[in-house]
Structure 1
Amino acid sequence: MMSVSDVQVFDPVLLNTFLIRKKRCRVYFHRGTLIWESEGASYTRHRLPLSDVMAVHYVHSPDQTHCCPAADQDGNNVDDKPVSELTAAAPPRHTGFTLHYAARSAKNKWKHETVTMNHTDPRQVASWVKTIRNCLSGLQKRPKRLLLFVNPYGGKKKGLQIYEKQVKPLFVLAGIETNVIITQRQNHARDTLLNCSFDSIDGVACIGGDGTFAEVFNGLVLRTARDCGVDHNDPDAILPKPFFRVGVIPGGSTDTMAYCFNGTTDIQTAVLYIILGDSTGLDLCSVHSNATLLQYFSSVISYGYLGDVVRDSEKFRWMGPKRYEYSGFKKFMANNGYEGEVTLLADSCSPSSGPKCMENCARCQSHAENEQNKTAQSHGELKTFRGKFFMVSGANVSCACTRSPNGISPFCHLGDGCVDVLIIKHTHLLNNLKLLLRLSSKEKNVFDLPFVEVHRAREFTFRALPAPVSNPEFPSRRLIPGVSVWNCDGEVQWESNIRIRVHCQLLQVFTRRSQESSEETSCGVCSF
């Protein structure tokens, strides 16, 4: 996970013998890697990259007669003294040090672990601690000061509890300063980012669901465009990238984006990724109607069934996350269909096959290298589809979550400059049931259903068409044209006729991505 520039910082070489869990171990530190080997018959060897280390702390002697105060008689911190002056400043006080690090667990989770190394010479302990701390401070990608938004109302309304018990302790441990803002209303985070000062932060994070994350990146993109003099209402504008990276800590109902980033909705994993500072590029999609920007979205925009569900669920917010199941059942039984026209600029890559977007994704890396080539991104085949649809969806990511392990489009990529357009024709209830069962399946997807079409596109437009009169024998009983709304990252957009355009890797998000060997524990550090 370390870049070349990070590796060049680690010039020192350290070698010594420490006591680790009552076993003598030879410990090496070179080129940003800690290695310790046990002595004796039961040989074990452990490797810990410094890129996985969060912090290092001294261990003090429990014997008070051998401890010294934190400062010498001149008021200087003993920890900051040169090793040669340590014993002259005060009696021995350091008996070892503890490394706090992130260890890979099963199912894409990472955990906070510790290892303590003890030594009889406090000068050796101080030398190791200072060297490791100096190397950690040289990791420029790690955030030092974060603006953190906490949504106390999202999901199960545990945002504040998540912050106090699971987020704050780890940030304090890693030495990250946080400016915490508790959101009080819809668009609070977006409005704050449009007007606040960025002088004292180097990253933005949020505790909440997909809606809270959407507020954050909408505020950042709009603020950056305004500061750079770019008209965000121009659907063809080249948007400047926000300077700050963004982290999302799960605290919502489905946490789709956190799942797509990390392969899990585990809170500690998301916090550790922010601390360690690795990031990847995320496509964002702009939604325009009548030359006016409606919103940017990161996960999915959907017309028809899912639009009806989010519109209906607004009346039942008191039910919490259960409101989506209730409204979903109602709209499923109603089986409404909507006339419309979809026109898309198709990409040559098939969305129904290929490797999934995971750690070190070759497709996303290729687009990151070529994103400056705007001409290459504008080519494609125009395709138009007309009909009566049960649902039309544009998936910017796979939209996988705990309820839908494969998501709407399993082979969709985070940063390839494309959106997967799913066109689901209106049909009978049995087919709709097959569709929903496929969406919740771990093995199957919806692509082989005869009433489903999927296309990978760089942009697309949708136009609602008037519904025909169903009963011509009674001309006075004219039907109101059937029009749905758009579910845009869980929020209602009322304009039916829209244009969607993908902005390749517009946002950098804190994550190390999903790993393919998710069932194995391969952190490189094991316990004795």
Structure 2
Amino acid sequence: MNETKMQEPDDGCSKTVLLNTFVIKRKRCRVYLHRGTLIWETERPPYSKSARWTLPLTDVLSASYGNEWISSMNNIKEKEPPTTPSSPNVSSTSFVLHYASTGPKSVWRHHSVTMRHTDPRQIASWVKTIRNCLNGFTHRPRKVLVFVNPYGGKKKGLIIWEKKVQPLMVIAGIETKLIVTERAGHIRDTLLTISLDDIDSVICIGGDGTFAEVFNGLVLRAAKDQEIDADDPKAILPPPVLPVGVIPGGSTDTVAYSLHGTTDVQTAAIHIIFGDTAGLDLSSVHSNNSLLRLYASVVSYGYLGDVMLDSEKFRWMGPQRYDYSGFKKIIANKGYEGEIELLSDPCHPAASTKCMQNCTRCIQHMHKSIPDQEITRWLTVTGKFFMVNGANLSCACSRSPMGFSPHCHIGDGCVDVIVIRHTSFINNIKLLLRLSSKDKNLYDLPFVEVYRAREFTFKAAPTSNYSENGNSISMNSGLSVWNCDGEVIQVPNVKIRVHCQLLKVYTRRIQEPIKEPSCFCSS
């Protein structure tokens, strides 16, 4: 479901009341635990707001005895198997409270505070109580399968895991099983065959392509287990049981940016530890009654497809290969004839609200409170296109803060179809400038058309250099290819269909309300 599942303390924890005096940073402080909230304040005047801290247990990562914490961190530094908090330590006179807090630009940070007391029994009582409360958060993962792509982006996947993610997993007491990918398709093939019985969730460290391999493998595994033919374009694909965590480690990381509001690694890891989930739409790409791929962010024909195909020849350049190929293709300014048929939703993206935590529009569509046949109609769009895009997300990233469609919803069962007509070189430059803008979108450009659809088909204009059998396309054939979550699809004629909230992903989303123009379909 897209309604973000925020954890609440269980009844036992919410009724628990603890009060004691601890020494924190050489100051005596009164510490309270009441109704799922920790409060500590200095015991002596002068009192001020800065001398009082309030922390909901939902933002707590763990509580560990002082000597236990030091031992775990030493094991990580020496690259030995990390230990997680386990048995009570009746001799410790301090405990470390690990928590996270959010700051500017949606970034979360790990913090810790050490509380000391002369009586070890008081320390043990507090640690046991806090741990029991955290164990009551049943949505938090306990055992996770981690895939690391060591080749994505700047090839820092393993460093990200060892330096930034694994220490947080140890702090939270999460048991991890690590698999380092060796080839394209490794994740997908593994998830189709491995036993998932003792796994709570799957985490991937990499780019959008790595994440795509994870959910393609999980959905196909679920379809196989339930004997559903995924190649049938009309099939209702089953949702995977396991939620997925996305930790950015690629070139653009549009999925991580759209879900977390940032490509900060620590923020993504903390969201996973918290265990809050939201439902994410996935779209299937079919051709000739065959499932080519599922995607989560964007599928693009024309310019971005040409860039992806051309950039494959320059992988040695790293992420800069996209800039080089992009410059070449913007100069070439090729256009492609085609026809788009789409099942249109009346809520135009420009009139829609932004997708936030507990988004009203996504919740309505999750519960199917509005019958599809009453709000959709078929439209046909033909012409010569510079680019055709089907966006499941805003597709925002550090290079494009607003993305293709800033008001795209992650769980409303719709894809935003952004059509860029073939136009002049100058207009193409305007398009790229808009995409890099922090406050402007594409909606009002005269050569851009935007639709919101449940599904759409694309048919390329006939050409003698292409056969429907799916033969390879040359760059001079008069046809382009599809860029699908960073992977190339050679077949131009496709049917794309949205599967509403098919995947559960870890995220707390953006929580502050933003004033946006109202949309009649979400009121």
TM-score, with structure 2 as normaliser: 0.88
Q: Is the 8 A contact 1:60 1:95 kept in 2?
A: no
Number of aligned positions between the proteins: 481
User: Residues 78 and 384 (structure 1 numbering): CA distance in 2 closer, same or farther, change over 3 Å?
Assistant: closer
Q: Is the 8 A contact 1:339 1:467 kept in 2?
A: no
1:514 is displaced (CA, Å) by: 2.5
1:138 is displaced (CA, Å) by: 1.4
For residue 129 of structure 2, what is the amino acid of its counterpart? T
Write the deviation string for residues 150-192 of structure 1: whole angstroms up to 9, x where unpaired.
0000000011111111111111111111111100000100010
For 2:165 and 2:325, the matched residues in 1 are separated by: 33
For residue 32 of structure 1, what is the amino acid of its counterpart? G
For 2:12 and 2:237, the matched residues in 1 are separated by: 34
1:78 is displaced (CA, Å) by: 11
Query: Once structures 1 and 2 are overlaid, which stretch shifts more, 94-103 or 497-506?
Result: 94-103
For 1:3 and 1:112, the matched residues in 2 are separated by: 19
Question: Equivalent residues in 2 for 1:243-254 (5 A)?
Answer: 243-254=241-252
For 2:47 and 2:17, the matched residues in 1 are separated by: 26
Residue 41 of structure 1: which of 33, 40, 46 is its match? 46
Residue 407 of structure 1: which of 399, 403, 409 is its match? 403
Residue 28 of structure 2: which of 24, 27, 50 is its match? 24
Question: Equivalent residues in 2 for 1:15-164 (5 A)?
Answer: 15-39=19-43, 40-43=45-48, 44-59=51-66, 80=88, 93-164=91-162
For 1:2 and 1:335, the matched residues in 2 are separated by: 46
Write the deviation string for residues 31-68 of structure 1: whole angstroms up to 9, x where unpaired.
2111112221233321111111111111359xxxxxxx
1:236 is displaced (CA, Å) by: 0.9
1:288 lines up with 2:292 in the alignment = no
For residue 226 of structure 1, what is the amino acid of its counterpart? K
For 2:276 and 2:67, the matched residues in 1 are separated by: 32
1:514 lines up with 2:510 in the alignment = yes
For 2:232 and 2:373, the matched residues in 1 are separated by: 18
Write the deviation string for residues 257-284 of structure 1: whole angstroms up to 9, x where unpaired.
0000000000000111111111110000
1:369 lines up with 2:367 in the alignment = yes
Partner of 1:231: 229
User: Residues 377 and 192 (structure 1 numbering): CA distance in 2 closer, same or farther, change over 3 Å?
Assistant: farther
1:438 is displaced (CA, Å) by: 0.4
For residue 186 of structure 1, what is the amino acid of its counterpart? A
Q: Is the 8 A contact 1:341 1:386 kept in 2?
A: yes
Q: Is the 8 A contact 2:394 2:407 kept in 1?
A: yes
Partner of 1:523: none
1:453 lines up with 2:449 in the alignment = yes
1:357 is displaced (CA, Å) by: 1.4
User: Residues 2 and 14 (structure 1 numbering): CA distance in 2 closer, same or farther, change over 3 Å?
Assistant: farther
1:481 is displaced (CA, Å) by: 5.8
Residue 353 of structure 2: which of 352, 355, 360 is its match? 355
Q: Is the 8 A contact 1:255 1:265 kept in 2?
A: yes
Q: Is the 8 A contact 1:418 1:456 kept in 2?
A: yes
Q: Is the 8 A contact 1:97 1:118 kept in 2?
A: yes
For 2:5 and 2:426, the matched residues in 1 are separated by: 51
Partner of 2:75: none
Q: Is the 8 A contact 1:7 1:31 kept in 2?
A: no
Q: Is the 8 A contact 1:167 1:268 kept in 2?
A: yes
Sequence identity percentage:
62
Partner of 1:504: 500
Question: Equivalent residues in 2 for 1:105-504 (5 A)?
Answer: 105-370=103-368, 375-376=371-372, 379-466=375-462, 482-504=478-500
Q: Larger Rg: 1 or 2?
A: 1
Write the deviation string for residues 428-448 of structure 1: whole angstroms up to 9, x where unpaired.
100111011001101111111
Q: Is the 8 A contact 1:356 1:411 kept in 2?
A: yes
Say which SS state the counterpart of residue 413 (structure 2) adopts.
coil
Q: Is the 8 A contact 2:88 2:124 kept in 1?
A: no
Q: Is the 8 A contact 2:7 2:137 kept in 1?
A: no
1:365 is displaced (CA, Å) by: 2.3
For 2:293 and 2:374, the matched residues in 1 are separated by: 22
For residue 47 of structure 2, what is the amino acid of its counterpart? S
1:120 is displaced (CA, Å) by: 1.8
Q: Is the 8 A contact 1:53 1:100 kept in 2?
A: yes
Q: Is the 8 A contact 2:413 2:501 kept in 1?
A: yes
1:7 lines up with 2:10 in the alignment = yes
For residue 55 of structure 1, what is the amino acid of its counterpart? S
For 1:497 and 1:467, the matched residues in 2 are separated by: 12
For residue 45 of structure 1, what is the amino acid of its counterpart? R
Say which SS state the counterpart of residue 140 (structure 2) adopts.
coil
Kindly report the root-mean-square deviation, in angstroms, between the aligned alpha carbons of the 2 structures.
2.1
TM-score, with structure 1 as normaliser: 0.88
Unaligned runs of 5+ in 1: 62-76, 87-92, 469-478, 519-528
For residue 156 of structure 2, what is the amino acid of its counterpart? K
User: Residues 417 and 402 (structure 1 numbering): CA distance in 2 closer, same or farther, change over 3 Å?
Assistant: same
For residue 426 of structure 2, what is the amino acid of its counterpart? L
Q: Is the 8 A contact 1:356 1:412 kept in 2?
A: yes
For 1:240 and 1:45, the matched residues in 2 are separated by: 48
For residue 21 of structure 2, what is the amino acid of its counterpart? T
For residue 274 of structure 1, what is the amino acid of its counterpart? I
User: Residues 367 and 38 (structure 1 numbering): CA distance in 2 closer, same or farther, change over 3 Å?
Assistant: farther
For 2:180 and 2:397, the matched residues in 1 are separated by: 26
Say which SS state the counterpart of residue 350 (structure 2) adopts.
coil
Query: Once structures 1 and 2 are overlaid, which stretch shifts more, 258-267 or 173-182?
Result: 173-182
For 1:452 and 1:430, the matched residues in 2 are separated by: 14
Partner of 2:520: none
Say which SS state the counterpart of residue 107 (structure 1) adopts.
helix
For residue 491 of structure 2, what is the amino acid of its counterpart? E
For 2:5 and 2:188, the matched residues in 1 are separated by: 32
